[in-house]
Structure 1
Amino acid sequence: MSTSAAPAVFHAINPVDGSSLPETFEISTAEDVHRLASRAQVAHLTLAATRGVDRARLLRAIADGLASNGEAIVSRAHLETGLPLARLQGELLRTTGQLRLFAEVAEEGSWVDARIDEALPDRKPLPRPDIRSMLRPVGPIAVFGASNFPLAFSVAGGDTASALAAGNPVVVKAHPAHPGTSRLVADAIHAAVAACGLPEGTFGIVYDQGTTAGEALVLHPAIRSVAFTGSTAGGQALMRLAASRPEPIPCFAEMGSTNPVFVLPGALRERGAALATGLQTSFTLGSGQFCTKPGLVFVPQDGSDAFLHQLQEGVNGLGSHGMLTPGIAERYAASVEARRGSGAAKWLAGQPAGPSGPGASATAAVFATSLPAFLGDPSLQEEIFGPSTLLIHYGALDDLLAAAASLHGHLTATLHGTDDDLAAAGPLVHLLETRVGRILFNGFPTGVEVCHSMVHGGPFPATSDSRFTSVGTRAMLRFARPVCYQDFPEASLPEALQSGNPLGILRMRNGVVGRA
């Protein structure tokens, strides 16, 4: 008589005290991954044929389910991440809000970019056939949950919402730091799928404490695209996997970014101390565990006394910051100590790290260096994930062109200045357009508004493909591709391409955009 081995399990960790939470989670096997991916492949044909109104109904049902169980979801996320309840309540609202926003876009329908070039049978020397095209869903999407946003960039986050809105099934790899939160959210999605009468394979989820299940998911032939938010090392590993397949697939990875801030002379003269306070708030927000944290700050060498005094005083008065996981806390401490010991930048403000305890915590750190030293040491551009930032002192405004030219890709760049400063910085702005996805004026990059025009992306290594965004409704474009129909009978065309425009969407018809 043979007996099967007990399934491998793991526990979530409370980062506040390092304790294991009681519930266990089975690690998904290769068979589990195959089953879910195969179901998604079957579901794709059904989901791709649904109308936008049906996808909108699903997204709204997911949002309603999350809202109705919001207290339990937020409580569990608090246990698994240590993030404040108010922060998580806001993140839940953001998650349900973006689900409903994608529902509106799917229901309205114009996002498919329908184009019609009607036949010209009398054209000389050759007639033109009837040609029509639109965006169509690509197939099952593998979504990887992020550590720092257990709701908005996780199981029902923007990647899942945009993939479903575009008509694609989703299989999520839950982040091992918050499996209980992931399970509660997954339950809400499963319930919404069933309530809407959609195939079971519309949504699936796998769990793993390591990388095995995620790797199997990316390599499964049913998966047609990958969405990831996390570290540069993790993103590049998935990019290599996706490219190594017999049939390579795109991997949309949002990775490391240090989000440079350029303080221009006029702003420093007018509000140096206030800028320091704003910077402190921004780079320590969420314990510096945001992908848009300002990690590089270019400050004029002259006239910065009030700015530096305020920053030092504020940061030196801070206590410890809770971190998401013990591993993140350890990596942050090691990176800070490596920078401190390298001699490339001097320690300017912050409390030295204390003895490590059972929980995950860190202290803020501010470093400073000169522009020539920064230009000569590429390691100073590397992201330190946590409450740390680097000041780079520059002389003339023209020096910032050399600084910007040295940057690799980032999610954001910020300029602080007067209107006259900005007018004089035109060449800098044009250069930054080649380096980042979002440019801010007199603000701070932490905080990403979910709206139609948002761009949360940037040149490598900020993302794997700067043509796309992971926040905002254009995120749907990652999971669709154009398909052309030539000389199809009217009745066999998708509704979006039928001459009578039964969906009433915006289309390009013979070069003219309208709803006719």
Structure 2
Amino acid sequence: MTDDTPAQDLDAIAARAAAAAGPFADTSPTERARALVAVADALEADADELVAIAMRETGLAEPRLRGELKRTAVQLRLFADTIVDGAYLDVRIDLADPDFVLGPRPDVRRTHVPVGPIVNFAASNFPFAFSVAGGDTAAALAAGCPVILKGHSGHPELSRRTAAVVTDALAGAGMPDGVFQLVTGQEAGVTILQDPRVKAGSFTGSIPAGRLLADIAAARPAPIPFYGELGSVNPVFTTAAAIAERGAELAAGYVASVSGSAGQLCTKPGFLFAPEGHGLDAAIAEAASSLAEHRMLNPRIAAGYRDRRDEVLAAAGVRTIAEGGVRFDDDGHGWVTPTIVAVPLDDLVAGRDVLLEECFGPLSILVEVGRATGPAELAALVPTLFAGNLTATLHAGAGEQGEDVRTLVRVLTEHAGRVLLGGWPTGVAVTPAMQHGGPWPATTNDASTSVGTAAISRFLRPVAYQGAAEELLPPPLRSDNPWGVPQRIAPAGESAEWGGRAVATS
């Protein structure tokens, strides 16, 4: 990104964010919710301009970008309704109890408060949904945290224009100055992450970059939480029964999921495990051959994909199903069509150092396992091949719901944040129950998510107040409950009955 933020400006940016933190945290959920909706409205009002810039800078197609901008606006509105509801604060009130079974209990009241200024590192492959106004920004603002957004060099003009839309919308909604600011450049991003006024970080991108930033956050004199979404190969498993029932449908869905947005999606299925003699080659090749070439995000990513593809194609035991290709234009941009290869399980294991690495682009490996390899054998195989992933998918046949299938599902649960029983992992739904995270290296914190309403909790921390006068309590903990949020109240005297419910239901 050109016009990197000068080092001398970063102190002022951090100071504005820190000054805004208190007033922003004091805004009511309703006020903050209206601000989020104002941002959503402004993004949609400027959609024509923003999408045109994004098409030029990223090479992504207009329908994809318009859908992504709509998703971004929908997520902002979802978070707005979530905070108005108030349940996200998890308010708990233990009233004073002189007869508490362990001795007199003081009045204790617990809620969640914003952690403070956040630095969010934008992603390249989702220029709306995981960039300037994307999920991490929306979650932090919903929580009441000022955001310092480190723009991505892959779409600099779009970053600046979107940031202006967000800033103007927040100001128009009456939010404090400094609630949202943009910085550009790698050095600026590292410097602002190290600033003691920044209280948490978020990131979507590669494993090396994410690990570097996570280590920086952890090495600060006062370490801070860092929520990184990094690498994932998203294995898919299909049984012989599923292929017999709907083989052509599976082949078409597989190719569509691999090739969508030129394979530049964190949930792209990198591996499909199928029994020998699956008979899917022809259907996969036909589906792949019908797809037009698609430009990759930038020349650097395209060159990396070319090199990774060459490695896979040259690996021992690899058989090409759909060759695909990479073409570079005069501007250095790479244009790609999907590449699907097959490899026997034994060759995958022997060549694991090459083949198991993530490939960012429209390439996937169909792993052929023995005909006798069922769900139980696949369950034993998973831990030997894969660390953490965002997703894992199982396609089973009708009636395949026995203990061996349940065992496989349990194992997949240990290795992924979202387990799909049918369907394909691309196309992450923006819903309250969505989990977009997983064990390392999918994320740096496997208890968090960057999609869905639970994403807000990353930027909150619990605080309890003991023996406080009503006037000194934050609004959600007051007895008159001015914000109207749900309050879980433990009245005096109930401790004498603890355990009764368990006995009554046994």
Residue of structure 2 equivalent to 1:4: none
Give the match for residue 54 of structure 1: 31
Q: Which residue of 1 aligns with 2:437?
A: 457
Deviation at 1:316, TM superposition (A): 4.2
Residue pair 1:394, 1:400 contacting (<8 A) in 2 also: no
SS at 1:91 equivalent: helix
Q: How far off its partner does 1:138 sit? A: 0.2
Does 1:205 pair with 2:182? yes
Q: Is 2:321 the partner of 1:351?
A: no
Of the three residues 321, 328, 333, the one matched with 2:301 is 328
Task: Give the SS at the match of 1:297.
Answer: strand
| 1:355 CA displacement | 6.0
1:367 aligns with 2:346: no
What TM-score results when the alignment is normalised by the length of structure 1?
A: 0.91
Partner of 2:382: 404
Rounded to whole Å, the distance in 2 between the matches of 1:324 and 1:153 is 14
Match of 1:235 in 2: 210
Structure 2 residue 446 is matched with structure 1 residue 466: yes
Decide which of 204, 214, 221 is 1:246's aligned counterpart. Answer: 221
Which residue in the other structure is 1:447 paired with?
427
Cα deviation 1:159-203 (Å, max 9, x = unaligned):
011100000000000111111111111111111222122221111
Looking at structure 1, the residues matched to 71 and 102 of structure 2 have their Cα atoms a distance apart, in angstroms, of 56
CA contact (8 A) 2:326 2:334 kept: no
User: What do the CA deviations read for 1:360-396 (whole angstroms, capped 9, x no partner)?
Assistant: 2223211222223333424422110000001111121
Query: Which of 503, 507, 510 is residue 490 of structure 2 equivalent to?
Result: 510
Contact 1:48–1:167 (8 Å) recurs in 2 = yes
Alignment of 1:290-329 (within 5 A): 290-302=265-277, 304-305=278-279, 307-329=280-302
2:414 maps to which of 423, 434, 440: 434
SS at match of 1:412: strand
Matched, 1:475 2:455: yes
Displacement, 1:352?
4.3
- Which residue pairs with 2:193 in the alignment? 218
1:9-20 to structure 2, matched below 5 A, reads none
More displaced, 346-355 or 104-113?
Answer: 346-355
More divergent stretch after superposition (356-365 vs 487-496): 356-365
Query: Deviation string for 1:33-79 (max 9, x for gaps)?
Result: 22111110110011111110111111111111112211111111111
Query: Residues of 1 paired with 2:101 and 2:253: CA distance?
Result: 66
Count of residues paired in the alignment: 485
- 1:416 alignment partner in structure 2: 395
Q: Residues 140 and 224 of structure 1 are in contact (CA less than 8 Å); yes or no, is this contact kept in structure 2?
A: yes
Which residue of structure 1 lines up, in the alignment, with residue 162 of structure 2? 185
| CA distance in 1: counterparts of 2:166 and 2:329, whole angstroms | 39
Match of 1:17 in 2: none
Structure 2 counterpart of 1:164, one-letter code: L
Residue equivalent to 1:15: none
What secondary structure, in the 3-state scheme, does the structure 1 residue paired with 2:60 have? Answer: coil
The reply on whether 1:30 has 2:7 as its aligned counterpart is yes
1:162 maps to amino acid: A
Q: More displaced, 340-349 or 358-367?
A: 340-349
CA distance in 1, matches of 2:225, 2:394: 33
Unpaired runs of at least 5, structure 1: 1-9, 11-24
Question: Letter of the aligned partner of 2:405 in structure 1?
Answer: A
Letter in 2 for 1:257: S
- For structure 2, the residue ranges without an aligned partner over 5 or more in a row are 495-506
Alpha-carbon distance in 2 for matches of 1:270, 1:108: 45
Match of 2:151 in 1: 174
CA distance in 1, matches of 2:74, 2:461: 26
Instruction: Give the distance between the partners of 1:355 and 1:198, measured in 2 at CA.
Output: 46
Deviation at 1:266, TM superposition (A): 1.1
Structure 1 range deviating more: 193-202 or 415-424: 415-424
Taking the aligned partners of 1:266 and 1:475, their CA distance within structure 2 comes to: 37
